[in-house]
């Protein structure tokens, strides 16, 4: 089956372009965003609103609670099901999002790593993320460079794989070389990469707008609903800064600039990730994309 993949950094306009392509093709959208999966986390994740979801069916938004775990493998399973359902209805699919690992898992799959070892994981988690990041830097500097120092789940998994197999997780991932793996779908890659000054402006406006729209109140409401601030879902950019603010570790006037800086760094990492996908055709703006040509290509592959 054919799909269109719309990728790029945060605030580049992926969601709006996906909506236009899906409308033109009579299709549906699958979100490839690791934070939009969480119910109740709306403002800080930049989800499309009810109006857009009325115009076009969107999948993999609001599918788990903040207390649940979402992995790239689980995402690929759910996305496969959504794509199969859309195909059964005769609807083309546009996949849009900035979580590179999710997109890669969907299109190429993931390496078959060892199963989870609950006892080992408990021991690793007890050490805390900073200590685990230092351990990972010693045994797998390549993976340590990719994994954030506070990303406990991914740090634990990387060290678990090393402990159980004797090889770094980066070595396993290199063996599962996506450049050699056959794609699971026939895909057209579309990348949005606005000029840096324009992207920075969009990020700063977006972050300021999120805070003004009630991001702090959103987190307070989630905590009141029984979701503790220690949850991994609150490690996401925006939410972790609000968490620090609610704990008295970050002043209110520092909230917006801190989130803006973190988002700019994340956007740079997204660009590096997606630039390595040589099949991507890059555009400076969504207006440069021939929406109707993409829609026609999708419609032509409905029987594929």
Domain boundary among 147, 175, 203: 175
- Specify the pLDDT at position 253: 96
89 and 134 co-located in one domain: no
Kindly tell me if the per-residue pLDDT of 244 is higher than 50.
yes
201 and 291 co-located in one domain: yes
- Specify the pLDDT at position 63: 97
Least confident of 24-28, 108-112, 220-224: 108-112
Quick: pLDDT tens for 119-150: 888 999 999 989 999 999 999 998 888 787 88
191 and 65 co-located in one domain: yes
Write the CATH number for 12: 3.40.50.300
Mean pLDDT of the chain: 92
146 and 58 co-located in one domain: no
Task: Using pLDDT thresholds of 50, 70 and 90, give the confidence band for residue 199.
Answer: very high
- Average pLDDT, integer, range 189-197: 98
220 and 287 co-located in one domain: yes
- Specify the pLDDT at position 150: 82
Kindly tell me if the per-residue pLDDT of 214 is higher than 80.
yes
- Specify the pLDDT at position 175: 64
Torsion angle defined by CA atoms of residues 115, 120, 125 and 128, in that order, rounded to the nearest 10 degrees: -120
124 and 12 co-located in one domain: no
- Average pLDDT, integer, range 6-32: 97
Task: Using pLDDT thresholds of 50, 70 and 90, give the confidence band for residue 177.
Answer: low
130 and 223 co-located in one domain: no
Sequence-distant (6+) residues with CB within 8 A of 135 are 127, 159
23 and 89 co-located in one domain: yes
- Average pLDDT, integer, range 267-292: 95
Task: Using pLDDT thresholds of 50, 70 and 90, give the confidence band for residue 33.
Answer: very high
- Average pLDDT, integer, range 76-105: 95
Judge whether 32 and 102 are in contact, CB under 8 Å. Answer: yes
Kindly tell me if the per-residue pLDDT of 174 is higher than 80.
no
38 and 52 co-located in one domain: yes
What range defines the domain where residue 157 resides? 118-175
Total structural domains within the chain: 2
Q: Bin 237: left if φ > 0, else alpha if -120 < ψ < 50, else beta.
A: beta
CB-based burial, 37-69: b 16+ in 10 Å, e otherwise: bbeebbbbbbbbeeebeeebbbbbbbbebbeee
Least confident of 93-107, 257-271, 290-304: 290-304
- Average pLDDT, integer, range 268-281: 93
């Amino acid at each position: 089956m054919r799909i269109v993949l719309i990728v790029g950094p945060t605030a580049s306009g992926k969601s709006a372009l996906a909506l236009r392509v899906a409308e033109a093709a009579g299709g549906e959208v699958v979100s490839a965003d690791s934070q939009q999966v969480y119910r109740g986390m709306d403002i800080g994740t930049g989800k499309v609103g009810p109006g857009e979801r009325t115009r076009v069916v969107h999948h993999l938004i609001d599918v788990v609670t903040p207390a649940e775990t979402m992995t790239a493998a689980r995402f690929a399973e759910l996305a496969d099901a959504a794509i199969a359902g859309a195909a059964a209805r005769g609807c083309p699919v546009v996949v849009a999002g900035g979580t590179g690992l999710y997109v890669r898992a969907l299109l190429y799959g993931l390496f078959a790593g060892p199963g989870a070892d609950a006892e080992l994981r408990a021991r690793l988690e007890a050490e805390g993320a900073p200590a685990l990041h230092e351990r990972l830097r010693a045994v797998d500097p390549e993976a340590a460079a990719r994994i954030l120092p506070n990303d406990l789940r991914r740090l634990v998994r990387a060290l678990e794989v090393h402990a159980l197999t004797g090889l770094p997780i980066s070595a396993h991932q290199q063996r599962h070389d996506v450049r050699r793996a056959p794609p699971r779908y026939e895909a057209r890659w579309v990348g949005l990469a606005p000029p840096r000054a324009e992207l920075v402006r969009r990020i700063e406006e977006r972050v300021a707008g999120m805070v003004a729209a009630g991001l702090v109140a959103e987190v307070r409401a989630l905590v009141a609903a029984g979701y503790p601030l220690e949850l991994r879902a609150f490690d996401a950019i925006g939410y972790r800064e609000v968490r620090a603010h609610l704990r008295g570790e970050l002043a209110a006037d520092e909230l917006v600039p801190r989130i803006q800086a973190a988002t700019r760094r994340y956007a740079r990492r997204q660009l590096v990730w997606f630039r390595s996908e040589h099949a991507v055709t890059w555009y400076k703006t969504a207006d440069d994309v021939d929406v109707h040509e993409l829609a026609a290509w999708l419609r032509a592959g409905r029987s594929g």
